[in-house]
Amino acid sequence: MHIQLRKSLSAFDSRCSLKTWVYRVIHNVAASHVDRERRRPVMGIDFDELEQMPGLTDLSGLVERDDALARLHAWIRKLKPTDRQIMTLYLEDLSAAEMSEVTGFKPGAIATRISRLKSKLAQDFKEASK
């Protein structure tokens, strides 16, 4: 609009007020833009084409993964503090020996707790999906 206004400034002949002239130039530029956009063909996407587009085919997988992660975080928040700590360290890929240093439990006890927590997690997720 500014460019068109500057280009047409030399054509201003004072037959109307400058304010009216600026309004008409800006209005005409906007109307021309709307008219061009209206004539532009709208590109519709068929659902079959959408499924074939790269990166979008995994969208449902991403949604499922995010849902599972949200459920996992909610499940972890419900655990007792020591179990929550062990499960969080397990999810951060720490070894039983490293977890032992952090928690003070023996590596064997940590491995047993992880096994029990994983079984409980699988059971709780199975019950929640019913």
Domain CATH code at residue 71: 1.10.10
**pLDDT higher than threshold 60 for residue 45:** no
Query: Does 50 reside within a domain?
Result: no
- Residues 73 and 34 both lie in one domain: no
Q: Same structural domain for residues 124 and 67?
A: yes
What is the number of domains present in the chain? 2
Residues 77 and 120 in one domain: yes
Q: 26-35, 44-53, 97-106, 112-121: lowest mean pLDDT where?
A: 44-53
Contact in structure between 85 and 103 (CB atoms under 8 Å): yes
Asked if 73 and 65 touch (Cβ cutoff 8 Å), the reply is no
| Residue 94 pLDDT > 70 | yes
The C-alpha atoms of residue 97 and residue 123 are separated, in whole angstroms, by: 27
Read off the pLDDT band of 53 (50, 70, 90): low
26 with 84, same domain? no
Which domain covers residue 118, as residue numbers?
A: 60-128
What lies within 8 Å, CB to CB, of 124 at 6+ separation is: 75
Does residue 51 fall inside a structural domain? no
For the stretch 4-8, contacts whose Cβ atoms lie closer than 8 Å and that sit 24 or more positions apart, written own/partner, are 4/29
Angle, CA 37 vertex, CA 35 and CA 39 arms, to 5°: 70
Instruction: Determine the pLDDT at residue 69.
Output: 84
**Does some domain include residue 46?**
no
Based on the fold, state whether residues 31 and 83 are members of the same structural domain: no
**pTM of the complete model:** 0.51
Evaluate whether residue 53 is within a structural domain. Answer: no
Rounded (5°) CA angle 38-42-48: 165
* Residue of 95 and 24 predicted with greater confidence: 95
